[in-house]
C-alpha cells in the first residue's frame, strides 16, 4: 500500500514539473513558491535570496522561480570543484555553480523529469556552457559514480522525496571524503495537519513532504554525515504564510539552510 502511494506521489510530482517545463511558467503554482500571481521568476528568486548579479548570470529561461533559498550562498564553491545538483530543473543553480568552479570544474545536474532535463540541455547549448551536463535520474538513485563530487547542492527538492534517508545516503555516496552538502529546503518546524500530509497535490507543492528538523538530522547522521547543521530561516515563515494563506502554515513550515560534511 505504501509503495502504491509513493508511486502516486512520484507520478504527481513528475507530471507537475513536466507541465511547468513545457509551459515555460514560473513557480510551482500553489506550491513551493505559493500562489505566485503576477510575480516573475526574477521576483521569486530575489525572495529566495539570489542577488541581481546571480540573476543576470544564468541563461534566459534557466531561472523558473522554483527555489526556496540560495544554496550557492552557503556552498563556498571553489575553482576546479565537481558539483552535483539534485533536482536541477531548468539548470539555474547549475549555471551559477559553473561560473564559480570555472573551466577546470564540472557541474552535473540530475532531474527525474525528462522535459526538465531537455530544457536544461537547451539552456546549456544556448549559453555554450561546456562544463555543465544534465542527466535523467531520481535523487534516490543518482546516475553518478562513487566519490566524484566535492559538493552536492539541492534547492527545494529533498522535501519532494518519499525516501529522504535514501537521498542522503546517495548524496554521501557520490561525495568524496571531505566533500560537503549544501541544501536549501522546506522543513517542518511544527506539526503538519494530517489532512495536509495525505494530500498528494501538496506533496508536489513542496508542502506535505516537509520533514521535522530532528528527523532529518537523524537521517543524515545514519547516512554518515558529520558537522550537520539545519537552520530554519525565520523570515521565510511570513513568506510561506503569504504563499499558502488558506493553509495557515506560517508557523509550521520554513525554508532552511542544510549543511553537512563527509569526513
Which tens digits make up the pLDDT trace of 55-89? 556 656 555 656 777 777 788 999 999 999 999 99
Q: Which of 57, 59, 55, 54 is nearest to 127 (CA)?
A: 59
Residues 6+ apart with CB under 8 A from 136: 110, 111, 112, 114, 117, 143
What pLDDT sits at residue 203?
A: 87
Q: 243 or 160: whose pLDDT is higher? A: 160
Cell of 60: 534566459
What pLDDT sits at residue 246?
A: 72
DSSP state of 212: B
Q: 190 or 249: whose pLDDT is higher? A: 190
Q: Which of 218, 212, 250, 255 is nearest to 233 (CA)?
A: 255
- Domain spanning 2-261: which CATH class is it, in words? alpha beta
For residues 258 and 60, give the distance between their C-alpha atoms in angstroms, rounded to a whole number. Answer: 28
Q: 3 or 132: whose pLDDT is higher? A: 132
For residues 89 and 69, give the distance between their C-alpha atoms in angstroms, rounded to a whole number. Answer: 15
Task: Quote the pTM value.
Answer: 0.87
What pLDDT sits at residue 221?
A: 98
Whether the pLDDT of residue 179 is over 50: the answer is yes
What pLDDT sits at residue 27?
A: 45
What pLDDT sits at residue 147?
A: 98
Are the C-beta atoms of 36 and 65 separated by less than 8 Å? Answer: yes
What pLDDT sits at residue 55?
A: 54
Going by pLDDT thresholds of 50, 70 and 90, the confidence category of residue 29 is very low
Mean of the pLDDT values across residues 177-184?
97
In whole numbers, what is the pLDDT of the chain averaged over residues?
A: 85
Q: How far is CA 257 from CA 51, 72, 95, 233, 248, in A?
A: 17, 11, 20, 7, 22
Whether the pLDDT of residue 173 is over 90: the answer is yes
What pLDDT sits at residue 44?
A: 59
What pLDDT sits at residue 162?
A: 95
- Minimum mean pLDDT range among 40-44, 198-202, 214-218, 231-235: 40-44
- Domain ranges within the chain, ordered by starting residue: 2-261
Amino acid at each position: 500500500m505504501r509503495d502504491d502511494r509513493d508511486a502516486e506521489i512520484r507520478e504527481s510530482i513528475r507530471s507537475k514539473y513536466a507541465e511547468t517545463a513545457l509551459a515555460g511558467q514560473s513557480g510551482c503554482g500553489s506550491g513551493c513558491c505559493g500562489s505566485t500571481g503576477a510575480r516573475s521568476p526574477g521576483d521569486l528568486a530575489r525572495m529566495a535570496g539570489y542577488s541581481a548579479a546571480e540573476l543576470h548570470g544564468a541563461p534566459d529561461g534557466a531561472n523558473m522561480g522554483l527555489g526556496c533559498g540560495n544554496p550557492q550562498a552557503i556552498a563556498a564553491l571553489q575553482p576546479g570543484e565537481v558539483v552535483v545538483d539534485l533536482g536541477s530543473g531548468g539548470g539555474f543553480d547549475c549555471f551559477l555553480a559553473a561560473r564559480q568552479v570555472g573551466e577546470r570544474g564540472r557541474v552535473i545536474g540530475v532531474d527525474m523529469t525528462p522535459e526538465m532535463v531537455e530544457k536544461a540541455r537547451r539552456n546549456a547549448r544556448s549559453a555554450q556552457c561546456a562544463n555543465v551536463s544534465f542527466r535523467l535520474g531520481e535523487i534516490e538513485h543518482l546516475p553518478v559514480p562513487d566519490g566524484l563530487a566535492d559538493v552536492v547542492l539541492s534547492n527545494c527538492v529533498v522535501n519532494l522525496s518519499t525516501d529522504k534517508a535514501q537521498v542522503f545516503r546517495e548524496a554521501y555516496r557520490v561525495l568524496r571524503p571531505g566533500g560537503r552538502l549544501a541544501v536549501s529546503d522546506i522543513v517542518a518546524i511544527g506539526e503538519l495537519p494530517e489532512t495536509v500530509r495525505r494530500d498528494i497535490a501538496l506533496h508536489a507543492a513542496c508542502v506535505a513532504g516537509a520533514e521535522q528538523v530532528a528527523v532529518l538530522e537523524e537521517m543524515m547522521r545514519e547516512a554518515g554525515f558529520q558537522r550537520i547543521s539545519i537552520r530554519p530561516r525565520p523570515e521565510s515563515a511570513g513568506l510561506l504564510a503569504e504563499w499558502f494563506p488558506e493553509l495557515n502554515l506560517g508557523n509550521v513550515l520554513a525554508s532552511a539552510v542544510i549543511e553537512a560534511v563527509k569526513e
